[in-house]
A and B are shown apart, each in its own frame.
Chain A
Amino acid sequence: MSAGLSRAVNVLKEVIDAPIASYFNSCVHCGLCAEACLFYTESGDPKYTPIHKVEPLRRVYEQEYTLLGRLMKMVGLVKPLTDEELGQWQELVYDSCTMCGRCSMVCPVGNDIVYMVRKLREGMAISGHAPDGVVAATKRTVEIGSPMGVKLPAVKAQVGHIQDDTGLEVPMDQEGAEYMVLLSSMEIINFPEYLSAITRIMKQAGKTWTLCSTAFEATNSGIQIGVSDLARVIVSRIVDGAERLKVKTVISPECGRAYTALRWEGPNLIGRPYTFKVQHILEVLDEFRAQGLLKTQGFEEERLTFHDPCQIVRRGGVIEPQRNLMRMVSKNFVEMSDPSKYNWCCGGGGGVSANEDAEEIRLIAFKRKKAQLDEVKPDKMVTACANCRIVLEEGLEHYQMDLPVVGLTEMIAEHLVESEPGSQKE
């Protein structure tokens, strides 16, 4: 057994628990999970059936944790896992799975398949079978501070521009602030509107907030790649920053994975509950709305639809806030088929968008979103995840669909009732 393979088997043995054992024993090979997976529905290739993607994990389970499996392994009736097989599975575990969790919603025996994919990735990554693009992004996050290589000076430069444009202060390292705002690299580089929107919204709501110079990046590609050690380093940076600044709440930005990583996996990674609250920006905005702290004027005239990012909705539990906020600024908001927790993924989550090998299958999978959009024919699509946004824009361009995609926070900010001269929406 090679060193890589033996590390993989050891890690997989460690992650296998009662739920996983229960799931593998319950599977009746009905194939319904395939019908919930956009990589299968759009390609028609049975190899993309979700439960098949976790076959290496099943074999380790059977051969290590069942009496019959151990006996069969001893007498050579079952083949032990090989390094080549793990290599072959990379395509199924990374390229064609966004960990959207739709399969876990349909399995009639109740198997949480995405939970098993997440665990299998731990073994894949440690044995060197994770895609280079995601590995590199994770390394950059740990070494430089962000997956796209963004450093503090770039954030400060953006802060400067926003202060000039809005005439408002963007606080940095302010101890005792109520909220600590995180960003995703994508927002720093591609969508600076986000931070500008936050600055204006916080001003209107009269809340104290701050950025943190040692923890501005929220993206956690350690989770995507499946290396808990690295994911822990990335989460700890945020926890240290939040505790140093003694903030009450950390706001996760418009990024799906960042939210699940910080809100749901984080405490388990660091081994203790947080001393602060974690909220997604949509939850914060909806709270402001309910408390009358968020005042908007005017409505979007166009027909709008909302793309639910899987990690925020189905895997994150933020379901209604975005709908309340959409209705606040739109009278023509239409839901796509299979909305909210039933949504279909953009096709680029879980590290797929950072994975060059996955480009072809990702664009095939996008046909699902295209079909949903063709049904409702919106003028504009709103979402709340910078990664979804980029993936959607690329997919729309590939299929030559002329449809603008905007972030919800930024759209809300465009409708803010503001007192400062010059910053009001025309």
Chain B
Amino acid sequence: MDAALFLNWVRGTGLQIAVFVFLLGTVWRLFEIYSLGRKPDLAERRHVAGASGWHTILRRSVPIPGMMQRSGMTYIAGYTFHIGLGVVVFLFAPHIKLIQGLVGLSWPALPSQFVDLVAVVTLAAMLVVLADRIMKPVKRFLSTFEDWFTWAVTFLPVLTGYFAARHLLLPYTLMFSLHILSVELLLIVLPFTKLIHVFTVWPSRWFNGDASARKGVPI
């Protein structure tokens, strides 16, 4: 298969398969999780200002006192790569064009030099996160194959995307095809691994915040 054919496949059939698995997988997984339901709480609830599941969805983004000192690297590197991913995925002009082509929505992009810089920072932050997982006893202890694997499938699209945009390492067409392929891998893997947290993190925070809010404790 030559480079042009490969590109055609990843842009066509490959993408269709990936999007199909991603959508169906996500809907199935979310149904599987949330259809389990929960029992009503019969204890008379307290009403305290600032205590609710919705508050916790926001508030949980800020570490509680003392945690930055205890595990600053987790927060700083974690924040950096999450925000970085958001910027390179949603604020890079070619990505916005792709989304516009698919669903008709578009918004202003950031200058591509800036997105390039963000991609480098994101890659660096992800390497820090990886090093932290290897070095910190607790993280190493908790880590399973899935943790290393999901790190890799998240890292690869950013790396290949950066290389493709900068015309580095491999001929552009091949690198661009590899970039699309790595995104497809990410889409296929997402619903069935811990990457599903992109969706479940919000209800999780809500459930926890709601349970605590019922007792009158804003968390």
Among A46, A263, A313, A317, the most chain B Cβ lie within 10 Å of the Cβ of A317
A108 in the interface (beta carbon within 8 A)? yes
> Which residues from A are CB-within-8-Å of B28?
67
In the complex, whether A106 has a CB less than 8 A from a CB of chain B is yes
Partner of B216, one of A29, A109, A272, A317: A317
Proximity bits, A113-133, B CB within 8 Å = 1, else 0? 001000000000000000000
Contact B194 A25, beta carbon cutoff 8 Å: yes
With A29-B147, A32-B74, A317-B216 as contacts: A106 and B48 at CB distance below 8 Å? no
B204 near A111: Cβ-Cβ < 8 Å: yes
Docked Cα-Cα span, A366 to B84, in Å, equals 41
Given contacts A28-B197, A29-B194, A110-B209, contact A21 B32 (CB under 8 A): yes
B29, B61, B74, B215: the one within 8 Å of A316 (CB):
B215
Instruction: Contact check, A264 vs B138: say whether CB atoms are below 8 A apart.
Output: no
Q: Is B44 an interface residue (CB 8 A)?
A: yes
CA gap between A47 and B142 in the complex, in Å:
9
Chain A stretch 258-314: residues in CB contact (< 8 A) with chain B: 263-268, 271-274, 277, 313-314
CB pair B141–A30 under 8 Å, yes or no, is no
The verdict on B89 contacting chain A, using a C-beta distance below 8 Å, is: no
* A339 smallest CB distance to B (angstroms): 10
**A28, B136: Cα distance in complex, Å:** 15
Mask of B109-150 contacts with A, CB within 8 angstroms, 1/0: 000000000000000000000000000111111111001000
**Contact assessment for A46 and B39 in the assembled complex, using a CB-CB cutoff below 8 Å:** no
**Does A17 contact B38, Cβ atoms closer than 8 Å?**
yes
- Residue B46 interfacial (CB < 8 Å): yes
Give Cα A61–Cα B37 distance, bound, in whole angstroms: 14
Q: Are A26 and B197 in contact (CB under 8 A)?
A: yes
Interface size class of chain B, counting residues whose CB lies under 8 Å from the partner chain? 35 or more
The answer to whether B142 and A52 touch across the interface, beta carbons within 8 angstroms, is: yes
A35 contacts B71, C-beta separation under 8 Å: yes
B residues within 8 A CB of A27? Answer: 194, 197
Asked if residues B207 and A106 are in contact (CB atoms below 8 Å), the reply is: no
Q: Are B33 and A22 in contact (CB under 8 A)?
A: yes
A202 in the interface, Cβ–Cβ < 8 Å? no
The reply to whether the CB of B179 lies closer than 8 angstroms to some CB of chain A is: no
**Residue from the list A16, A115, A268 in contact with B43, Cβ < 8 A:** A268
CB-based contact B43/A25 at 8 Å = no
| Complex contact B67–A18 (CB within 8 A) | no
Indicate the member of A65, A112, A265 with the most B CB atoms within 10 Å: A112
Q: Are A22 and B203 touching (Cβ within 8 A)? A: yes
Distance between Cα atoms of A316 and B212 in the complex (Å): 9
Residue in A20, A21, A31, A65 whose beta carbon sits within 8 Å of that of B74 in the complex: A31
Interface status of A19 (Cβ within 8 A of chain B): yes
Which residues of B are found within 8 Å of A315, using beta-carbon distances?
Answer: 215, 217
**Quick one: which of A16, A29, A111 contacts B208, CB cutoff 8 A?**
A111
Q: How far is the CA of A107 from the CA of B57 in the complex (A)?
A: 12
Contact (A104, B67) CB under 8 Å given A21-B32, A65-B36, A317-B216? no
Q: How many A-B residue pairs have CB under 8 A?
A: 174
CA distance A21 to B194 in the complex (A): 12
Residues of A within 8 A of B196 (CB): 25-26
Closest to B33 in A: A21
| B216 → chain A closest CB, angstroms | 3
Most buried by B among A21, A51, A316: A21
Set of chain B residues within 8 Å of A271, measured between Cβ atoms:
42
B2 close to chain A: CB less than 8 A: no
Interface residues of A in 33-88 (CB under 8 A from B): 34-36, 40-41, 44, 46-47, 49, 51-52, 65-68
Whether the pair B215, A30 counts as a contact (CB closer than 8 A) is no
B44→A273 contact, CB < 8 A: yes
Check if A148 is an interface residue, CB within 8 A of chain B: no
Asked if B56 lies at the interface with its beta carbon under 8 angstroms from chain A, I say yes
For the complex, is A341 an interface residue (Cβ under 8 Å from B)?
A: yes
What CA separation (Å) do A23 and B208 show in the bound complex?
A: 9
Contact: B42 with A268, CB < 8 Å? yes
B141 touches A342 (CB 8 A): no
Which of B44, B141, B200 is A49 in contact with, Cβ under 8 Å? B141
Residues 64-95 of B contacting A (Cβ, < 8 Å):
64-67, 70-71, 74, 78
CB proximity of A268 to chain B, nearest CB, Å: 5
Taking a contact as CB atoms under 8 Å apart, the answer to whether B143 and A29 are in contact is yes
Q: Chain B's nearest CB lies how many Å from the CB of A16?
A: 7
Apart from A29-B143, A110-B206, what 12 extra A-B contacts exist at CB < 8 Å? A25-B196, A30-B78, A32-B71, A41-B70, A46-B140, A47-B141, A49-B142, A106-B64, A110-B208, A112-B208, A315-B217, A342-B64
Interface CB pairs A-B, < 8 A, 30: A17-B36, A17-B39, A18-B34, A18-B35, A20-B36, A21-B32, A22-B33, A22-B204, A25-B200, A26-B204, A29-B144, A29-B147, A29-B194, A31-B141, A32-B74, A46-B138, A52-B141, A52-B142, A66-B32, A67-B28, A68-B192, A104-B219, A106-B63, A106-B64, A107-B60, A108-B61, A111-B204, A272-B42, A273-B43, A315-B215
Q: What residues make up the interface of B, taking CB atoms closer than 8 Å to A? A: 28-29, 32-39, 41-44, 46, 48, 56-57, 60-61, 63-67, 70-71, 74, 78, 136-144, 147, 192, 194, 196-197, 200-201, 203-209, 211-212, 214-217, 219
